[in-house]
Structure 1
Amino acid sequence: MRHARRLTALGLGAALLAGVPAGAARNDAPTKPDAAAKSTQSKAELEALRGRIDALQKNLSAAEESRGEAADQLRESEKAVSEAQRSLYALAQQAKATQGELDGVAQRERAARGALAEQEALAGQLLRLQYFQGAPDRLRILLEGRDAAQVARHLEYLAYIQRARAGLISDLRKGAETLAGLQREAAERREQLAANQAEQAGVTRQLENERATRAVALKRIAGEVAKGKREIDRLKKDEARLTRLVEELARALAAKPAPPPAKGKGKTIDQVADASLSAKSFVTLKGRLKLPVRGELVSRFGAAREEGATWKGLFIRAETGEPVRAVADGQVVYSDWLRGFGNLLILDHGRRYMSLYAYNDGLLRQVGDTVKSGDTIANVGQSGGAGESGLYFELRHDGRAFDPLQWVAP
């Protein structure tokens, strides 16, 4: 596949990672009663290994500093695309929240207008009542020489009318103030929405510019790597680089083997991960998982690649921008650009299980974020030099890749 060949071309710096043998840190168990000699030998081997690791780190740093200008440009451009998409995602969430607040303000404003209309109607009724009753005053009632009980009733009635009128006037003023406050709040929310939309437009323009820059970088890299017969070696070292990263992450959390490969090609995927597996332990999900993206399964675990290596995961051909979803609950432990794999996101699912999502156009989550099964975590792309748009997906346990299809629901 062309995308696999172009992927290998970006593994120049990863070649240094193959310098540490897999069993360099393992000591043979002593078979003679010379424990002291074995201990001395083990210490010497450990010191030698530390020296090799130190030298390897220095060589790796030197290689990273001396890599090609085009590779640098690709990395920065694809990271910028991812950051712009993350910003757009955050702005969209903010706009949604602001619109919700604006809807709430509008609802409260309608309620305030209704209450104000009721108070105005009540005030009108009171005025009409006073008009028909003649609006007697205290002095007139006393001078008419009426019965004392009747005078008391009239005076009480007059006091009630005056209190009711004063209360209505106060309520009308408060209602008008409340309405004015709600109108000001609504205006502020509209201004926030307008500012949000303007910012989204700016980020969208930035995203378009970054994608154009990435296209230029990809074209330059394609020209730089067109010649050369070292693709098999580079691909293996890309895989070693990814394996090293996963093993280091696994050691920080904890470390076991993988099932045999599956065969097949070209299967259409239309059922993707959703919230149905949320809040479930990953170890209980074998045979129940759904794949992370809609598309066409074109490369399977263990299948031979054109370059001579084998696939360590699945390649799912999909449209650029298609949502990539978490296959299970987990925490983001890696979200960055990695040579050979582009914008890469890794989820830790606990019990030393991890899932990896590569070639993304944009990474929507950051290290430390907790996600649920079915949450959108990235957008499909062809970063890292992939020859076509799609998602590279792996499952790992103890840092070792195993066949995801053995865990996927039939």
Structure 2
Amino acid sequence: MIALTVALTCASVIEAKTATSKITERSKHKQIAETERTELQQKLNSLKTDINQTETAKSNAADALADSEAAISKANQSLFDLGSEQIRTQATLNKFFKKHVVLSKFVTAQQTQMATLLRQQYLAGNEDRIRLLLSGENPNQINREFQYMGYVSKAQAKLIGALRGNLQAVEVNQAQTQNAKDELDEITLEQRDQKTLLEKEKNTRAGLLKQLSSKLAAQRKEVGKTKRDEQRLTSLLDKLAILIEAQKKVDAILREERRQEQLAKVQAAALANAQAQIKAQAGLALALEQQRQIQRDALTKKSTIAEARQRTSTKVSSFTPDPIDDDQPPTQTVIAPAQAPTPLAPATPIAQNEKASETSSPDTIYGKPFASLRGLLRLPVRGDLMSRFGSKRDDGPASRGVFIRAPEGTEVKAVAAGRVVFADWLRGFGNLIIVDHGNEYMTIYGNNQAILKHPGNVVVKAGDVIATAGNSGGNEQSGLYFEIRHQGRAFDPLSWVTTR
């Protein structure tokens, strides 16, 4: 019993220490993750401000277009969203129309049945039950008439109930249809307002371009302008790379926290199993001790009976008692052999319970590694190739991407799965989108008319529309500027796309 008490006490101490250690480790990991999240959010919020502050000393005529081009992008995005909402609302309206046709057919059929029943009742003379009872006719005939009238009444009640329900459904359907029509009208009006706003912003931008055309032309001839634009983009990409690495650390901490939670669950289950087996062993030990005590009591009782017999035979030697069959053993309790203690089950290996948390790498969460897609990508927009990778630009540095001429509003699609890490106006590139594909691969889409995706945790798929082509950033032609970079180094996009 003392050993049993010690075992239970040790198990309790182990459980308390494990719980304390678990809480401490989880709190530590949560605190680290929360700190990293806060720092990353602060860096994301200050990224654009930091970029603008480093350029305050450099005046650029194209900056005057920033507000106008941002407004045009926002108006186009609103029109894009309204178009999607209009399609959904029209589908709902069509569904209500179809339901209305079906309900109308039901109501018409039920009204016809009701008219037939009323006509039959009228032709039958509309006799009530009291008149039938007082008619003096054959009771069997009266009973049949009552049954017939009961059937007719039930049919009428059922038909009236169904008709009433369908009429109510028609009213609800009409209200839903009207609501859908009202929503569609609101969307149409909002689309008209957005189009008016878009035309106004386009006119404003055209006026600004006209006013600044000479200054823009002069700036395009500056040797340093293109170089500054490249440096600006490179600086942005470097800062984004730092933020992405910071995000990876946060993700790693969160994965470690999940792993620790799984480990704690496994340890808790193992401890509970051990405690259960300790209790089972304690129960067996107690039962074994009780059985041994019963055996000792039986032996003591047997010895006492033998001594009593001996004393009795000595005192009453003159008396001849009935013979006692000494060959018959005294009755005693048969004790079953104690069951051997069940050995403790080995703890489940932790590695087997951590596979789920370690199977995915943050660099491959987008599907296939981007490096394996070389020669398989499709260009993000259809159009004419106007400038190639490495071509000279106005006596400036060589182009690090390609420019594809395309009409305004042409859909720009992501070339591969990834996460949007930047979507804003950048001097020299206009409305710019940068998509991170993991393993330090990024694709860059510039001069967009409208930005349709924004930074966040939503992962875009290959072929998703992320923008519409335009000439933001003071570009003379409408189209898309496209780059592919790895670790900040630019690669020829045409070597990555398929010729099919």
TM-score interval w.r.t. the shorter chain? 0.7 to 0.9
- Aligned with 1:118: secondary structure? helix
Counterpart selection for 2:406 from 318, 327, 349: 318
State the match for 1:8 in structure 2.
none
Matched, 1:224 2:215: yes
Deviation (angstroms), 1:234: 2.2
State the match for 1:285 in structure 2.
373
Cα deviation code 1:55-114 (max 9, x no counterpart): xx9997656456558544311111011001001111111111111111111111111101
Pairing of 1:203-242 with structure 2 (within 5 A):
203-227=194-218, 231-242=222-233
**Which ranges of structure 1 fall in alignment gaps of 5 or more residues?**
1-56, 256-277
Q: Which moved more, 1:222-231 or 1:281-290?
A: 222-231
The whole-number CA distance in structure 1 between the counterparts of 2:445 and 2:375 is 20
Matched, 1:126 2:117: yes
State the match for 2:418 in structure 1.
330
The whole-number CA distance in structure 2 between the counterparts of 1:60 and 1:248 is 10
Residues 168 and 222 (structure 1), Cα distance of their counterparts in 2 relative to 1, 3 Å cut? same
8 A contact 1:71–1:217 mirrored in 2: no
The whole-number CA distance in structure 1 between the counterparts of 2:85 and 2:229 is 38
Percent identity of equivalent pairs:
42
8 A contact 2:403–2:481 mirrored in 1: yes
- Aligned with 1:365: secondary structure? coil
State the match for 2:276 in structure 1.
none
State the match for 2:11 in structure 1.
none
Matched, 1:351 2:342: no
Deviation (angstroms), 1:200: 0.7
Deviation (angstroms), 1:287: 1.3
The whole-number CA distance in structure 1 between the counterparts of 2:449 and 2:49 is 31
The whole-number CA distance in structure 1 between the counterparts of 2:54 and 2:245 is 30
- Aligned with 1:297: secondary structure? strand
* TM-score of the pair, normalised by structure 2: 0.61
Deviation (angstroms), 1:360: 1.0
State the match for 1:397 in structure 2.
486
The whole-number CA distance in structure 2 between the counterparts of 1:330 and 1:146 is 90
- Aligned with 2:437: secondary structure? strand
State the match for 2:274 in structure 1.
none
State the match for 1:110 in structure 2.
101
The whole-number CA distance in structure 2 between the counterparts of 1:329 and 1:152 is 80
Matched, 1:380 2:469: yes
Cα deviation code 1:350-372 (max 9, x no counterpart): 23222111011111222224322
Residues 174 and 60 (structure 1), Cα distance of their counterparts in 2 relative to 1, 3 Å cut? closer
Residues 59 and 231 (structure 1), Cα distance of their counterparts in 2 relative to 1, 3 Å cut? farther
Cα deviation code 1:140-179 (max 9, x no counterpart): 3322344444433322221221122122223222222221
- Aligned with 2:378: secondary structure? coil
Deviation (angstroms), 1:388: 1.5
**Which ranges of structure 2 fall in alignment gaps of 5 or more residues?**
1-47, 247-365
8 A contact 1:243–1:400 mirrored in 2: no
Cα deviation code 1:123-142 (max 9, x no counterpart): 12212332344444222332
The whole-number CA distance in structure 2 between the counterparts of 1:279 and 1:388 is 35
8 A contact 1:356–1:393 mirrored in 2: yes
Q: Which moved more, 1:335-344 or 1:175-184?
A: 175-184
Deviation (angstroms), 1:305: 3.0
Counterpart selection for 1:169 from 136, 143, 160: 160
8 A contact 2:226–2:393 mirrored in 1: no
State the match for 1:32 in structure 2.
none
Counterpart selection for 1:363 from 434, 451, 456: 451
The whole-number CA distance in structure 2 between the counterparts of 1:59 and 1:131 is 90
The whole-number CA distance in structure 2 between the counterparts of 1:394 and 1:226 is 24
Residues 118 and 67 (structure 1), Cα distance of their counterparts in 2 relative to 1, 3 Å cut? farther
8 A contact 1:335–1:345 mirrored in 2: yes
Deviation (angstroms), 1:401: 1.6
Matched, 1:100 2:91: yes
Matched, 1:79 2:70: yes
The whole-number CA distance in structure 1 between the counterparts of 2:126 and 2:151 is 12
Q: Which moved more, 1:389-398 or 1:58-67?
A: 58-67
Cα deviation code 1:259-308 (max 9, x no counterpart): xxxxxxxxxxxxxxxxxxx9655333221111011111122222333424
The whole-number CA distance in structure 1 between the counterparts of 2:398 and 2:52 is 29
- Aligned with 1:289: secondary structure? coil
8 A contact 1:70–1:220 mirrored in 2: no
- Aligned with 2:482: secondary structure? strand
Residues 175 and 227 (structure 1), Cα distance of their counterparts in 2 relative to 1, 3 Å cut? closer
Residues 351 and 129 (structure 1), Cα distance of their counterparts in 2 relative to 1, 3 Å cut? farther
Matched, 1:185 2:274: no
Matched, 1:245 2:245: no
Deviation (angstroms), 1:330: 2.1
Instruction: Provide the alpha-carbon RMSD of the alignment.
Output: 2.6
Residues 319 and 184 (structure 1), Cα distance of their counterparts in 2 relative to 1, 3 Å cut? same
8 A contact 2:62–2:428 mirrored in 1: no
8 A contact 2:62–2:474 mirrored in 1: no
Pairing of 1:57-68 with structure 2 (within 5 A):
64-65=55-56, 68=59
Q: Which moved more, 1:399-408 or 1:197-206?
A: 399-408
State the match for 1:18 in structure 2.
none
Counterpart selection for 2:392 from 291, 304, 310: 304
- Aligned with 1:351: secondary structure? coil
- Corresponding pairs, count: 332
The whole-number CA distance in structure 2 between the counterparts of 1:132 and 1:59 is 93
Q: Which amino acid aligns with 2:434?
A: I
8 A contact 2:62–2:473 mirrored in 1: no
Residues 196 and 333 (structure 1), Cα distance of their counterparts in 2 relative to 1, 3 Å cut? same
- Aligned with 1:358: secondary structure? strand
- The answer to which structure, 1 or 2, has the higher relative contact order (CA under 8 A, 6+ apart) is 1
